[in-house]
A = this chain, B = another copy of it.
Amino acid sequence: MDDPLQKLTALFAKFPGIGGRQARRFVYFLLSRDETELKRLGAMIADIKRDITQCPSCQRFFPKSDLIKESKECKICRDSARDGSLLIVVEKDNDLDSLEKSGTYEGHYFILGGTVPNVEKEVPRFIRIDALKKIVAEKTKSGNLQEIILGLSLTPAGEHTISYLRTILSPLLANTKVQISMLGRGLSTGTELEYSDSETLKNALLNRHKE
């Protein structure tokens, strides 16, 4: 297959959520743009890693222009106004973006980079488990950390990852004051009681709160 139309279509078809037909629309879309725009997009993609770096603490991607001389960390990790006693472990950068946009979390992050599929031996291939262990060890030693929130989605893969992380983290935290916590389960905005599954109803009752 030496047809560049098909080759580029195949590359776009690897993008998350993109099928063959939409990938082809992307190619035709690009062919309708002018040369300058294509050169610019192509260069940005080729060089994106030159301009973006990854935070050694939380693992998120951020622009190098946010770096300061004294640190390799991202703005969030460097921010002394944030609550260093909390560390939330999330799956991906988009999850961090959603939490930041909601303005409801003031602690630190760790981006796992994926989830653990159901039965799997080579976990490190899927998630940044060594980096997580290292950061937890550091933060535990420095004496500040009090709680690690396992902030995974309530999907089967997310729940499997939660139980995997527990097996790994529990022994590391055995002689510390650091506790593992989970996101609250219950009714989410818009949920109707009648159509809720038993698990959600159970959690809505268990986690009820008085005022």
A31-62 vs B, CB cutoff 8 Å, 1 = contact: the mask equals 11001001111111111110110100000011
* Interface-located stretch among A117-125, A130-138, A180-188: A180-188
A residues 55-110 touching B (CB-CB < 8 Å): 61-63, 65, 90-95, 97-99, 101-105
Copies assembled: 4
Contact between chains at A104 and B155 (CB < 8 Å): no
- Shortest CB–CB separation between residue A48 and chain B, in angstroms? 6
For A201, the chain B residues whose CB sits under 8 A away are 98-99, 102, 104-105
Number of residues of chain A lying within 8 A (CB) of chain B = 97
The 5 closest A-B pairs by CB, nearest first: A184-B207, A42-B46, A184-B186, A102-B198, A4-B51
Taking CB atoms, residues of chain B closer than 8 Å to A195 are: 98
